Amino acid sequence: MLKTKLTEMLGIRHPIIQAGMGPFSNNNLCVAAANAGILGLLSTSGIFSKTDQPWVYKAFVETAEASMDDDMATVLEKVLKRTYRLTKDNGGVFGINVMVSAELLDKSKVLIDTAIRVREENPAMKDHFKVIFTSAGDPVPWRDKIKNAGFTWLHVVPSVKGALRCQKAGVDCIVASGHEGGFHIAWEPVHSMVLLPAVVDAIGADLPVVGAGGFCDGKTLAAALALGAAGAQMGTRFLATQESDFHPLWKEQVVKTEDRGTLVARGIVGPARWLKTPSSVQHLQNTIVKSPGVFSGVPDDFTTVPPDLIQYERDGIRAVCTGDREKAMMAGGECAQRVEDLPKVQDLVDNIMTDATRIVQTMPHYLTNVK
């Protein structure tokens, strides 16, 4: 068993976070992750899509035991209550991942307000529904709302500057996400090997830091701990599991991905890492022409990006929902090339922990010059 500041802060057994991943729901994945002794995160970005991507909304509500007629807040309330019901007897701990990027602020507020209300109305949930995990925006404006409600607050950043902003906001734990990661990534690339120790050094010993981007097994979890982190968040790895709510096409594509199997092209709220397929290669070509800031680190305003570029992505995700392999666009991290199976979540967690523990314990034996 590896105890860290993360396991102690959240009361979880293992220092692993199952990442929030949209646009499909993570509802069943989150339940399995929480029950396996790690932090399970519910994704919420699919709830945003009722009018502009009803196919995503449909997939989302189906696994939430909700209805197409429900509004965003009602769907989330049903998801939270369901997750609580399915994790409480196993001592599971879970949270919600809410993107707070500028384009989504109205919706983010509805989701965070709903989360706070549902927990207040159901106080027994507090031992299980412990976390609000914000991403893709500035944490500072959310401080009073989240802190006053008593949640443990995690925020994800791609830079030291972002980490210092988290410290100012009073975030409880910082997730430093490197450019290897799946789906949305930063405009300016810094990869986990550099970012994670840089954030640990900048933040000091008080606040736990978790690594994200490229972590997918015992070796990489042990590496995160060696770099000073209190754990690792894993997205792509958990996407490809039996319980994951993602479409089988997407899961299979992660497993099929080989050496140099991802690319960076436009995503809805900025650069995104996609699994390499004919359709994402075409999207890359379109991005070079229509959103070159993705490659030069200069953010372009969402409102000025040609709508057909964004539509291409939406069509690609719709193609996943309809099982259209040729047109499908599927996001995933570089570590997809290291993912070779579709295990059950509990088996995956057990294997990761066995390997990480062995590596941490036996590391000195590999070093012939250690005295």
Ligand X SMILES: Cc1cc2nc3c(=O)[nH]c(=O)nc-3n(C[C@H](O)[C@H](O)[C@H](O)COP(=O)(O)O)c2cc1C
Is 333 one of the binding residues for ligand X (CB under 6 A)? yes
Is 53 one of the binding residues for ligand X (CB under 6 A)? no
- The residue among 87, 112, 100 whose CA lies nearest residue 36 is 87
Nearer to ligand X, 7 or 97 (CB): 97
Query: From the list 181, 211, 231, 343, which residue makes contact with ligand X (rule: CB under 6 A)?
Result: 181
Residues 108-137 that bind ligand X (CB under 6 A): 135-136
Query: From the list 37, 95, 162, 182, which residue makes contact with ligand X (rule: CB under 6 A)?
Result: 182
Q: Which amino acid is at 108?
A: S
Q: List the Cα angle 204/207/211 in 5-degree steps.
A: 90
Is 64 one of the binding residues for ligand X (CB under 6 A)? no
Residue 93: count of CB within 10 angstroms of its CB: 23
Is 43 one of the binding residues for ligand X (CB under 6 A)? yes
Stretch that binds ligand X, among 69-77, 233-241, 262-270, 309-317 (CB under 6 A): 233-241
Nearer to ligand X, 97 or 287 (CB): 97
Nearer to ligand X, 37 or 270 (CB): 270
Query: From the list 183, 199, 223, 265, which residue makes contact with ligand X (rule: CB under 6 A)?
Result: 183
Q: Which amino acid is at 96?
A: I
Stretch that binds ligand X, among 51-59, 232-240, 277-285, 358-366 (CB under 6 A): 232-240
Cβ atoms of residues 30 and 83 within 8 Å: yes
Is 335 one of the binding residues for ligand X (CB under 6 A)? yes
Query: From the list 28, 35, 45, 114, which residue makes contact with ligand X (rule: CB under 6 A)?
Result: 45
Nearer to ligand X, 207 or 268 (CB): 268
> Going by C-beta distance under 8 Å and a sequence separation of 6 or more, which residues neighbour residue 302?
102, 103, 269
Query: From the list 25, 108, 152, 233, which residue makes contact with ligand X (rule: CB under 6 A)?
Result: 233
Q: How far is the CB of 181 from ligand X (least distance, A)?
A: 3
Residues 146-175 that bind ligand X (CB under 6 A): 156
Footprint on this chain of ligand X (rule: CB under 6 A)? 19-22, 43, 45, 97, 99, 135-136, 156, 177, 180-183, 212-215, 233-237, 239, 331-333, 335
